[in-house]
Amino acid sequence: MSSYMIFCVEKTFNKLCCAFQQILALFPYLYLWLWGGALLDERAIYIVIIGWNTTSVHWDWELAAERRRLVQTFNKKDIVCDVFAGAGALTLLSARKVWRVFANDPITDALKYLARNTIDNKLQAKVELYNLDCSMFVKTLANFKKPVLMTQIVFSLPTSPDTLSGALKGAFDRKIWPVHQPLPIVHVYGYSHMPSWGKNFSHLIVERLQLKMETVELHVVKSLDSTREMICASFRLPEQVAFYD
């Protein structure tokens, strides 16, 4: 299938999604086809089925393109930690490409639909589910007797700098984490301007995690209004944060 055809199908699908978004709440359970995009290294096209309850699990159609962009940066050997997995959009797309996905959501209802979606897509062998507070999820995986050697950590929902710091600061143990194993890359979403904090989101991350601004890669996801944008900040987790004592 040509790139032009992919574009046309995706564009048409997104328009239909926007049209149906107004009436989704009328249906308690839905199975919709989500266009997965050309994510595999072989440029193969695949479809992922997502099922969820619109009364308890939030869904944002506008973030579909962002999920595809992020997964394109992963490789086959990656081990991904999805901190706020929800119904599993990012988890399932990632599992089609990477070695393994550890998916977590603190909301029990969301985890129930994620479990069902994982089985329906026959990905249970590549996805492991957790129902933990985000402050404990990464720490739990990193401190198993044989730690999960995660390479990518994704905070899918807009996350405050303090929540991010609480989830990552001191989450790793030097005695357990292999000396030659690189620390994971972190991807976190937030808003470019945060009036209540009086500072830019990226500056707050740099401040809370003691990063250097040049080590943080920023990507604009979408405009929210004339003053705010949703952004994705990506960076390698620094040792002084991971092994903080």
Give pLDDT, residue 197: 45
- Ranges of the chain whose pLDDT falls below 70: 1-62, 193-199
Structural domain includes residue 82:
yes
* CATH number for position 163: 3.40.50.150
Residue 188 and residue 157: Cα distance in Å, rounded? Answer: 8
Structural domain includes residue 89:
yes
pTM of the predicted model as reported, rounded to 2 decimal places: 0.78
Residue-averaged pLDDT of the chain: 79
SS3 per residue for 183-242: CCEEEEEEECEECCCCEEHHHHHHHHHCCCHHHCEEEEEEECCCCCEEEEEEEECCHHHH
Structural domain includes residue 125:
yes
Owning domain of residue 85: 61-242
Structural domain includes residue 35:
no
Residue with tokens 């086809």: 33
Structural domain includes residue 49:
no
Provide the number of structural domains found in the chain.
Answer: 1
Structural domain includes residue 12:
no
Structural domain includes residue 211:
yes
Structural domain includes residue 94:
yes
Give pLDDT, residue 165: 92
Per-residue pLDDT tens over the stretch 151-179 = 999 998 888 888 999 999 999 999 999 99
